[in-house]
């Protein structure tokens, strides 16, 4: 099996990076984590990549002083040098330009800590608690020029409990992120994802049966 070469882009500790690295150890996993790239030289995810024997490169965004095109051009050079075919964003705290996103159309995915289209952007867990929703969760989606707007590949939901804190809710959501992100990346690398309008179809996947209720 020829595995797709994947770059994981991080800005911080790389919690989801760890889940992707672990999943990619399986012989039948269709993707290879070939590069971890960060806009912050001190990002914890770079150290995690080196410990796993994966190439780790920093393209510091600070010297570019808001010149997003020049910054992304430097990133693209690194991606090209490592033969990258798919990008997985994992806590990459930079808004990418339309040109960069278009160049990677259908080959770049992101994980977001909410059930999109609810709560795009930041501080999703506290916003969910404040809004009084009964379910919260995470979403893997294809990246499009609109922030957190791309076609949804997978979602996982957790209940919002009456006494939840932001930290407790975030921890339950993160556990689900670590499940659905490796799965979604595998589907994309295996060519099982098809886009139909604003939605995706995962070939061979089935949906769950039953109904979720909160409270019960």
Residues with catalytic roles: 112
Dihedral sign for Cα 24, 28, 29, 35, please.
Answer: positive
Buried/exposed code over 146-165 (b: 16+ C-beta within 10 A; e: otherwise)? eebebbbbbbbebbbeeebe
Residue 125: strand, helix, or coil? helix
DSSP 143: -
User: Which tokens sit at 187?
Assistant: 């589907």
């Amino acid at each position: 099996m020829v595995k797709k070469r994947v770059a994981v882009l991080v800005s911080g500790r790389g919690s989801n990076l760890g889940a992707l690295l672990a999943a990619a150890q399986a012989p039948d996993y269709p993707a290879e984590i070939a590069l971890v790239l960060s806009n912050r030289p001190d990002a914890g995810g770079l150290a995690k990549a080196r410990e796993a024997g994966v190439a780790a490169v920093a393209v510091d965004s600070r010297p570019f002083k808001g010149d997003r095109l020049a910054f992304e051009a430097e990133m693209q050079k690194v991606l090209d040098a490592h033969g990258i075919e798919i990008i997985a964003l994992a806590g990459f705290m930079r808004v990418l330009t339309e040109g960069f996103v278009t160049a990677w159309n259908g080959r770049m995915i992101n994980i977001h800590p909410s059930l999109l289209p609810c709560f795009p952007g930041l501080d999703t867990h506290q916003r969910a608690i404040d809004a009084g929703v009964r379910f919260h969760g995470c979403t893997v989606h294809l990246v499009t020029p609109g922030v957190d707007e791309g076609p949804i590949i997978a979602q996982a939901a957790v209940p919002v409990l009456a006494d939840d804190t932001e930290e407790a809710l975030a921890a339950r959501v993160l556990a689900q992120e670590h499940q659905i992100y490796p799965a979604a990346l595998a589907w994309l690398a295996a060519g099982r994802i098809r886009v139909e309008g604003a939605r995706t179809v995962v070939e061979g996947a089935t949906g769950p049966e039953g109904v979720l209720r909160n409270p019960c």
